[in-house]
Amino acid sequence: MLEIRFNKAAKRFQYDWIFRNLDLLVEANSKIAITGSNGSGKSTFLKCLAGTNPLTEGSISYSFEGQPVSDADIYQKLVISAPYMELPEEFSLKELLTFHFSFKTPISGMSPEDMVKEMYLDEAINKQVSYFSSGMKQRLKLGLCFFSEAPLLILDEPTSNLDQRGSNWYLDLVGKFGQNRTIFVGSNDAKEYSFCDKSLNIEDYKQKKAL
């Protein structure tokens, strides 16, 4: 059970505040959409949440099963899928799954064969990931997230490059594997966050010039 608390969180690039004075308590298993127009700061917010971008002001605190988790350790509790995250493309699918799951624990009872089937990538098991289509890569990114044992999933533009079948498949994944986790979705497409119980428009926390 992961709880996340934003306390006066703020991020500034040069003179632009991307968001400021952001207070938010995220209870375990929440489903939260981060919305806003292009360039408003959705990805920046998600990178701050993941601990890969430092805040300019304020803090984000995490606690797992009642125990505080430090900024340095939060990466162990989360998985990310985002357009800017590269897959190690020199691996075959089989090798990549072995590599990924040498760091992360697979969700209970799931074998690499089950994962490949679930992602409908059976035909590509020995194919080098660099030869995957953009939709295949996206299914792989999402699969790696949902099939990893982690209480926090950060999904930035989860259905980018997915066709109708892929978009439906993503919503099925959420239903099958997303129930007992916290999920943040950065998106401009209402369909991909239709299951979220809360939506935060990052533009509501924008302040143009540094004071």
Ligand X SMILES: Nc1ncnc2c1ncn2[C@@H]1O[C@H](COP(=O)(O)OP(=O)(O)OP(=O)(O)O)[C@@H](O)[C@H]1O
Q: With respect to ligand X, which residue has the nearer C-beta, 2 or 49?
A: 49
Q: 122-131: long-range contacts (C-beta < 8 A, 24 or more apart)?
A: 124/93, 125/92, 125/93, 125/94, 126/92, 126/93, 126/94, 127/92, 127/93, 128/89, 128/90, 128/91, 128/92, 129/87, 129/88, 129/89, 129/90, 129/91, 129/92, 129/93, 129/96, 130/89, 130/90
Going by DSSP bridges, is the β-strand pair 198-201/31-35 parallel, antiparallel, or unpaired?
parallel
Site track 36-75 with ligand X (rule: CB under 6 A), x = hit: x-xxxxxxx-------------------------------
Q: Verify binding: residue 151, ligand X, rule CB under 6 A.
A: no
Going by DSSP bridges, is the β-strand pair 207-209/152-156 parallel, antiparallel, or unpaired?
unpaired
State which of residues 1, 8, 13, 123 lies at the interface with ligand X (CB under 6 A).
13
Going by DSSP bridges, is the β-strand pair 182-186/152-156 parallel, antiparallel, or unpaired?
parallel
Beta bridge partners, 184, equal 32, 154
Q: With respect to ligand X, which residue has the nearer C-beta, 83 or 106?
A: 83
Measured distance CA(206)–CA(137) in Å, rounded: 33
Q: How many residues bind ligand X (CB under 6 A)?
A: 11
Q: Verify binding: residue 78, ligand X, rule CB under 6 A.
A: no
Q: With respect to ligand X, which residue has the nearer C-beta, 39 or 109?
A: 39
Instruction: Tell me if 144 sits within 8 A of 81, measured CB to CB.
Output: yes
Q: With respect to ligand X, which residue has the nearer C-beta, 49 or 124?
A: 49
CB of 173 to ligand X, least distance (A): 22
Q: Verify binding: residue 81, ligand X, rule CB under 6 A.
A: no
Site track 153-192 with ligand X (rule: CB under 6 A), x = hit: -----------------------------------x----
Q: With respect to ligand X, which residue has the nearer C-beta, 151 or 186?
A: 186
CB of 156 to ligand X, least distance (A): 7
CB of 206 to ligand X, least distance (A): 10
Q: With respect to ligand X, which residue has the nearer C-beta, 35 or 148?
A: 35
Residues in contact with ligand X by the rule CB under 6 A: 13, 18, 36, 38-44, 188
